[in-house]
Amino acid sequence: MVSEQLPSSYSNSSTWLKIGLFAVGLGQSFAFVLVPPLARDLGLSEVQTSTIFAISAVAWAMTSATWGRASDNFGRRNIAMIGLTGYAISLIALITPLLLAKHGLMDLLLLFPLLIAGRLINGLLGSATRPAAFAFVADNSLPSKRTKKFARLESSFLAGTVLGPLLGGFLFLFNEALPFYLFSSLAIVSAIGLYMNMPNTTKIKSANENLTKISFLEKSIFPFLVLASLYSFCQASLLQSIGFYVSDSFTNYTDLPLLISMSFALLSISTIISQYFFTDFFELNNYKLLILGSFIMILSYIQAAFATSIALFYFAIILNGIGSGMVRPANASALSLSQSPDNQGSAAGYLGSVIPIGHMLTPIIAMPIYQYNPSNLYLFSAVLCLIAVIMLLTVSSFKTEHTDNNVT
C-alpha cells in the first residue's frame, strides 16, 4: 500500500536503482560502440558481430517476464541485485576475450563463442534489473505520479547511454579494459547499495492468487505490448541505421564519425529533456502523451527520410527524441496502472520482454529495407507509428485512465 508520505527507504532505494540503471546505460552504449570494430579487426564479420548481440536480445526477451514474476515471489531487491551483478559479469566476460585475442594470448577460434557466451550472460541475468526496478517503483508510487517516476528511471538509463561513449572513449585512451571494469564496478556498487538500503519487498498477496496467473494475452496487457513492440522496432532500426545513413547521405561533410556521435547525443539528450518537461511542467495524462508523442515521431521519421542537410537530419533526430521521451514512460505507466498490485512484477516483465524485439528484427527487416532505399526505412517507421496512433484511437484499453489499488 502507498500513502501520501513515502518512507525514506523508498527514496534511498530509488536512488540506488537509478544509479544501477545509469551504470547499465554506460556499459550498454559503450559496448555497442567499441565491440563491433574491435571484433572486426580480429577477423569477425559484421554478421558474426551482430549475431553476438542478437542472441543476447533473444535471451533477454525470453527471460525478462520470468524475472518479473520472480521479483513478485522472491523480492524486488534480490532480483534487481541479480540483474546488476549479471550485467557486471557480462561486461568483463565481453572485453576479456577481445583483449586476450588482440594480444595473442588466446586462439582466435575461441573468440566468437566466448563473445557469445559473455554477451549471453547479459541477456540471461542482466534482464532481471529492469522489471524488478519498475515493479518496485510501481509498488511505491501514487498513480498520479507513476508516469513521472517511470520517466526518472528511463532518464537515468538514457543519461548513461549519452555518457557511455564519451567517458568510455576517454578512459579507453589510458587502458583498453578500464571503462569496462569501471562500469561493471559501478553496477556492483549499486547492487551493494540496494542490499543495504532497499527493503526486499514482494507483491501483495491476494486471496485468489493461486487460482490464476496473469497472461500476456490479457486485454489489459497485450495492447501495450504491441505498442511497445512497434516503438521498439522504430527505435532499434533508427539506432542501427544512423551511422550508415549519415555516412551515405552526407558524404560532402568532413569528420563523419563526429557527426554520427552528435546524432546519438542529440537523440538521448532530447529524450531526457522531453521526459522531464512533459512529466513535470506539463503533466499530460498517459493517453495524451502517447497520442502526441506518436504524432511527433511520425513527423520525425518523415523529416529524416527527406533531410537534405545534416542540420535538417539533426532536427529530425531531436523530434524523435522528444516523441520517444513521451511515449516510453507513458506506455509503461499506463500498463502498470491497468494492473492490480500483485501483478506489477509480471506486467513489468512482459514489457521488458518485448523491448529487445526491435534489435532482433532490425537485421531481418530494417536492414534489407535500408539496402533497397535508405529513406524507405524511415518512411516505414512512420507507417508503424501511424499504426500505433490508429491503435490508440480504436483500442479501449488505452483510453481508460486506470488507477490501481496501491493507494491508501
- Domain holding 297: CATH number? 1.20.1250.20
Cell of 408: 491508501
pLDDT for the residue numbered 124: 92
d(CA 30, CA 226): 29
Within-domain flag for 71: yes
Q: In the listed set 145, 178, 200, which residue is the last one of a domain according to the structure?
A: 200
Tens place of pLDDT per residue across the chain (408 aa): 444 445 556 678 888 998 999 998 888 877 876 777 778 788 887 667 777 888 888 888 888 888 888 888 888 899 999 999 999 999 999 999 999 998 888 888 898 899 999 999 998 999 898 888 888 887 777 777 777 777 777 778 877 877 887 788 778 878 888 989 999 999 999 999 999 988 887 765 544 444 456 666 777 788 888 888 899 889 888 877 787 788 788 877 777 767 877 787 788 788 888 877 776 666 667 888 899 999 999 999 999 999 888 899 999 999 999 998 888 888 877 877 777 666 666 777 777 778 778 777 877 788 788 888 889 999 999 999 999 999 999 887 776 655 444 443
Do 250 and 162 lie in one domain? The reply is no
In a domain, 323, yes or no: yes
* pTM to 2 decimal places: 0.72
CA nearest to 131, candidates 190, 78, 186: 78
| Assigned domain for 375 exists | yes
Structural domain contains residue 91: yes
SS (H, E, C) 116-163: HHHHHHHHHCHHHHHHHHHHHHHHCCCHHHHHHHHHHHHHHHHHHHHH
Q: Note whether 122 and 226 are same-domain residues.
A: no
Does residue 193 sit in the same domain as residue 225?
Answer: no
pLDDT the model gives residue 282:
63
Asked if residue 238 and residue 191 are part of one domain, the reply reads: no
Q: Which of 135, 139, 154, 129 is nearest to 6 (CA)?
A: 139
178 with 318, same domain? no
Q: What is the DSSP letter of 402?
A: -
Domain that holds residue 167: 7-200
**pLDDT reported for residue 174:** 84
CB 160 within 8 A of CB 21: yes
Same domain assignment for residues 117 and 38: yes
How many independent structural domains does the chain possess? 2
Q: How far apart are CA 2 and CA 142, in angstroms?
A: 7
169 is a domain residue:
yes
Grid coordinates given for 185: 564496478
Task: Give CA–CA dist 25/129, Å, rounded.
Answer: 12
Same domain assignment for residues 103 and 184: yes
How far apart are alpha carbons 377 and 202 in whole angstroms? Answer: 43
Helix (H, G, I), strand (E, B) or coil at 397: helix
Q: CB of 143 within 8 A of CB of 344?
A: no
- 207, part of any domain: no
**Angle, CA of 238, 28 and 251, to the nearest 5°:** 40
Is 138 found in the same domain as 183? yes
Q: Is residue 186 part of a domain?
A: yes
Domain stops at, among 176, 200, 224: 200
51 and 74 belong to one structural domain: yes
Please indicate, yes or no, whether residues 129 and 238 belong to a single structural domain of this protein.
Answer: no
Return d(Cα 277, Cα 124) in angstroms, integer. Answer: 34
Last residue of a domain, one of 200, 222, 249: 200
58, containing H or E segment: helix 46-74
Element spanning 269, H or E: helix 256-276
Question: Are residues 190 and 70 located together in one domain of the fold?
Answer: yes
Same domain, 185 and 298: no
Q: In whole angstroms, what is the distance from residue 266 CA to residue 269 CA?
A: 5
Task: For 295-354, give the DSSP string.
Answer: HHHHHHHHHHHT--SHHHHHHHHHHHHHHHHHHHHHHHHHHHHTS-GGGHHHHHHHHHHH
Q: Which helix (H) or strand (E) holds 115?
A: helix 111-124
* 299 inside domain: yes
